[in-house]
Amino acid sequence: MNMKKIKDFFSLNEPENFDNNLLSYSVIKNNNEKKYNNQKLFKTLEQNEQYLKSIFNNCYDLTIRKISLYNENKGKIAIAYLNEFTTEKLINDSIINKFPLNLSAQNDIEESIKYTLAINDNNICENFAQCIDAILDGNVIIFSDMLNKAFIENIKSPPERSIEEPNIESTIRGPREGFTESMSKNIILLRKKIKNINLKTEKHTIGKNVKSNIVICYMEDAVDKKILEEVKARIRKINIDTFASNYVLEAISDDKFSLVPTIFKTERPDVAASKLLEGKILILVDNTPIVLSIPALFVEFMQASDDYYTNYIPATLNRCFRYIGLMITLTLPGIYVALVTFHHELIPTPFITTIIKARAGIPLPSMWECFLMLSAYEIIREAGLRIPKTIGQTVSIVGTLILGEAAARAGIVSEPMIIVVAFVGTALYTIPSPELNSMILFIRYIILLLGGALGIFGVLCGLLFLITYMTSRRSFGVPYMYPIMPFSLKRNEDVIVRTPIEKLDKKMKLFRR
Amino acid sequence: MKKIFNKFIIMLLILSMPTISFTGCKDATEIEKLAVILAVGFDVTSDNDYQVSIEIMDSITLISKGRQTITYCAKGETVFKAIDNIYKNIGQKFNYAHIQYIVIGDNMAKKGIASIIDFSLRYNQIRPTIPFLVTNGEARDIIETNICTNVIPAISVTDLLNLQRNRGETIYTTNLDFVNSIAHGSRSTTCGLINIDKHKLDTHVNYNLSGAAVFNKDKLVGYLSTRETVGLNWIRGDINRYIVMIEYPENYKISLDVTDSSSNTDIDMSENNNVNIKVNIKSRSFIREMTGMVDPNKNPSIMDILSKRQNEIIYNDAYLVINKAQRDFQLDIFDFGNTIMRKYPNQWDYMKNNWNDAFKNMKIDINVDSRVNKTGVLSKPPI
């Protein structure tokens, strides 16, 4: 009884009975949802219309048009839709003009509507919940007099981007198409590549207030059933509103505080299709061009799609450089600072002159000098993301060249440090995945601090900790460093070395069971 | 959330543990606050004190012209005290890790260098791979000379040493080699000789790194000339680039370029403890310069004649140094003693005390097998 009172207090006038309080239904949506969930359609057009209007009150974009179809006065149909989703012309062409003028009431109404509009049995609904979802999805709903059924006609033309080449994952010789925000287009892009009945697409709807569609794609013959069940279980638990795939990613990932990404993201259909063939599970989220691939291994983040579109010798070489770049961008600041502050004997004698001369008169200790420069670089980089493209080049030249040189000339930082920071900053972009990139920034700072405090010993401790950490990660139960640790020579054909595709295809790359 | 916070605290504790327990930070020194020592010279003064001259990196001069090092000199009762006295002049911490060479003055070397060897091996910052050099005059002059081949004079010495070492005109002995050969075996060693070249044809001041100094235990006993040093290196098989001059045909000179040489020493001990030493020298060379009108490609037997003459030259060089070691120094500077120690450890035990006495009358066979196998781009001289 007490609970009831409190409830009443907060949700001002929670209706008990729909008939009396029609207008109050849309005040609090959650309550609303509960009520209309099981509400069946009414027999008369007026009742349906009134009910619909009450739910969509204060929504100017809901349009309900009534059309007389029959010779008799009372024979009418009503079409309801959100008018921004579609155009008048489309509705006239594909619904209204299709009805014959002399439809008589003696005909079976349901059959004749189904026949004229070519409506599928699945698109006939009997309760309001379905109707409302369909309207919100941009479909046109057709009610008819004397029929407690409604028909869903999908003629929406929502604003959509055309298929473009993704900016981040650009290739030299690969296909130029990328995923878009439209789910249907994305699925078409995948189906176009994999013409196989084993490609399954399961639709789930998640979210509390916003109903978003997510689709789980997998190859039935290649996927691991346990992982699939796990993914589905985790998706069912999602109870947040999602607008982007990262919302889903954070909701289903193994470790919320992971230093390394454990779910792979891509914007390229060709990459996504090859992941499917490897036995991975894709998660497509509506309204986002980023597709998630599960489970993800560390080596995937070091593979670029161009590796498979060029000869395997340069591809292998590029991969080696990528791993070297990874090591450099992680450890170079830490090692440089350690050498300069602790291990002077490890610097070659001719080089020590240069460093000493460059460092003479610098007010900051090397570690803080490096810290300052790295932070300055990151600030300029972060600013560069948001600088308007028209003035971007000027600003970046001022930011990097002039700032760096002026700082060196003014004696705030030394030249070798500028070289180190510039090299480290550039080497970061050898890594193809932006997810791994952004985590490296953080780890690099830790290694820098360790190097500055404990020398090479500290750098080694940091690396050891990192390696231990990475080997102990799991992505949906799969060891994160899989072909490297636990080591498998057979699966190492696509890690540092990119074996010729023919041989690779037989073993079907990394993950396939 | 709490669990993660706890984890974070534990991680911080683990990370801070080494910071506290390992004294890493104590040794942290910014690189510009270091006086990087590049070369050290040792002399002995008239009142029996040590005089140390050091060459350190100059961190002040920003213009990179001319010499980039500064030299300091100080005296002290011990080696380290003398170095320590330099602290009175400079406000920087010494770093010993980059010492390029150690040079010892003639007086000091004659007095004995045990204290220098101890100093150079005891302190962990000093590498055991620093070459030792001896000069005829004062070590201080060598350190203070303005040399024009490199902005860092110490590096110009190491460059010179590495080249001369291949040419066989000097001996490369590091502090560890030094102590290894005087602690056991024949208890004598040699090291390179460096001087300031005063009889040069050009006007630049420069070093002359040729010849060698001979040590009995830690005391200097004499010097080897350049030719004797080459002979010593033939026996050791250390020559990689050397010009041998021979006459063929009569009154015409040929320069042979040795590209590769090796040697091995066979030591046999007969039953009455007679030691037979046999040195086999092998080398390969090609013709670098030829004036006599002969065509070795048409008449290959010329090459054999050239080889034979080359054999003689090498044999003479090698015998020269053996004679000098046996007659003048009466010291086994070739370290044959070490070879015997490894091969016949039991006999060596009662041999080692008077090894040098036995060595001076020992018969040493030298067997040279050299080949001249290329004529270069030309066969016979063009004119």
Smallest CA-to-CA distance from B42 within B56, B58, B55, B53 is with: B53
Q: Does B125 touch chain A (CB under 8 A)?
A: yes
**For the segment B335-382, what is each residue's pLDDT rounded down to a tens digit?**
888 888 888 888 888 888 888 888 888 889 999 999 888 888 888 888
- What whole-number distance in Å separates Cα of residue B286 and Cα of residue B376? 7
What does the block give as tokens for B299?
């008449």
Q: How many CA atoms lie within 13 A of A245 on its CB side?
A: 26
- Quote the pLDDT of residue B182: 85
User: Please, what is the Cα angle at A366 between A362 and A368, to 5 degrees?
Assistant: 100
Say if residue A338 is exposed, middle or buried (CB neighbours under 10 Å; 0-12, 13-18, 19+).
buried
**Mean pLDDT comparison of A266-270, A387-391, B10-14, B32-36, highest-scoring range:** A266-270
**Candidate from B61, B97, B151 with C-beta closest to A344:** B97
- What whole-number distance in Å separates Cα of residue A210 and Cα of residue A108? 38
pLDDT over 80 at A108, yes or no: no
Sign of the alpha-carbon dihedral angle for A384, A389, A391, A397: positive
- Mean pLDDT along residues A155-183: 87
Cross-chain residue pair A357–B36, CB shorter than 8 Å:
no
B284 or A127, which is more confident: B284
Q: Does B183 touch chain A (CB under 8 A)?
A: no
Residues A278, A222: contact at Cβ < 8 Å? yes
**For the segment A235-275, what is each residue's pLDDT rounded down to a tens digit?**
988 888 887 888 888 888 888 888 899 999 999 999 999 89
- Quote the pLDDT of residue A25: 40
Q: Read off the pLDDT band of A34 (50, 70, 90).
A: low
- Mean pLDDT along residues B44-62: 85
**pTM, two decimal places:** 0.81
pLDDT over 50 at B136, yes or no: yes
- Quote the pLDDT of residue A19: 44
- Mean pLDDT along residues A387-404: 77
Q: Does B20 touch chain A (CB under 8 A)?
A: no
Sign of the alpha-carbon dihedral angle for B288, B292, B293, B297: negative
pLDDT over 70 at A343, yes or no: yes
- Quote the pLDDT of residue A258: 86
Name every residue whose Cβ is closer than 8 Å to that of residue A443 and which is 6 or more positions away in sequence.
A259, A330, A462, A466
Phi, psi of B159 (to 5 degrees): -60, -45
Smallest CA-to-CA distance from B40 within B136, B112, B117, B151 is with: B117
Cross-chain residue pair A344–B34, CB shorter than 8 Å:
yes
- What is the interface pTM, i.e. ipTM, of the complex? 0.79
- Quote the pLDDT of residue A118: 82
- What whole-number distance in Å separates Cα of residue A178 and Cα of residue A163? 6
- Quote the pLDDT of residue A20: 42
- What whole-number distance in Å separates Cα of residue B376 and Cα of residue B383? 16
**For the segment A129-157, what is each residue's pLDDT rounded down to a tens digit?**
888 888 888 888 888 877 888 888 888 88
> What mean pLDDT is reported for chain A?
83
- Quote the pLDDT of residue B197: 85
Residue A466's DSSP bridge partners are none
Write out the H or E segment, with its range, that includes residue A212: strand A212-219
- What whole-number distance in Å separates Cα of residue A206 and Cα of residue A224? 23
- What whole-number distance in Å separates Cα of residue B175 and Cα of residue B190? 12
- Quote the pLDDT of residue A241: 82
Chain A residues with beta carbon closer than 8 angstroms to that of B57: 352-353, 356
Residues A241, A209: contact at Cβ < 8 Å? yes
pLDDT over 50 at A13, yes or no: no
- Quote the pLDDT of residue B19: 60
User: Please, what is the Cα angle at A240 between A237 and A241, to 5 degrees?
Assistant: 135
- What whole-number distance in Å separates Cα of residue A82 and Cα of residue B50? 100
- Quote the pLDDT of residue B89: 84
Dihedral class, residue B217 (left if φ above 0, else alpha if ψ from -120 to 50, else beta): left
Give residue limits of the domains in chain A.
37-153, 183-296, 310-494
Residue percentage of chain A with pLDDT more than 90: 28
In the numeric block, the tokens 């008819």 are attached to A144
- What whole-number distance in Å separates Cα of residue A277 and Cα of residue B312? 77
Q: Does B5 touch chain A (CB under 8 A)?
A: no
Q: Does B24 touch chain A (CB under 8 A)?
A: yes
- What whole-number distance in Å separates Cα of residue A76 and Cα of residue A69? 6
Domains of chain B: 31-224 (no CATH), 226-383 (3.30.300.210)
Q: Read off the pLDDT band of A120 (50, 70, 90).
A: confident
Residue percentage of chain A with pLDDT more than 70: 88
pLDDT over 70 at A7, yes or no: no
Name every residue whose Cβ is closer than 8 Å to that of residue A393 and which is 6 or more positions away in sequence.
none
Chain A residues with beta carbon closer than 8 angstroms to that of B25: 453-454
**Candidate from B15, B29, B57 with C-beta closest to A341:** B29
- Mean pLDDT along residues A356-385: 88
pLDDT over 90 at A349, yes or no: no
Q: Does B27 touch chain A (CB under 8 A)?
A: yes
State the nearest Cα–Cα gap between B224 and chain A, in angstroms: 31
**For the segment A193-220, what is each residue's pLDDT rounded down to a tens digit?**
999 899 999 998 887 778 788 999 999 9
- Mean pLDDT along residues B51-79: 82
Chain B residues with beta carbon closer than 8 angstroms to that of A360: 32, 59-60, 62
Which residue of B15, B68, B155 is the best one to mutate when testing the A interface, meaning the one whose CB has the most A CBs within 10 A? B15
Rounded (10°) CA dihedral B196, B198, B203, B206: -10
Smallest CA-to-CA distance from B154 within B263, B57, B254, B76 is with: B57
- What whole-number distance in Å separates Cα of residue A222 and Cα of residue A199? 10
**Candidate from A347, A356, A457 with C-beta closest to B32:** A356
> What mean pLDDT is reported for chain B?
87
pLDDT over 70 at A190, yes or no: yes
- Mean pLDDT along residues B286-309: 87
Residue percentage of chain B with pLDDT more than 90: 40
**For the segment A417-437, what is each residue's pLDDT rounded down to a tens digit?**
999 999 999 999 999 998 898
SS3 percent helix, strand, coil of chain A, rounded to 5, is: 50, 10, 35
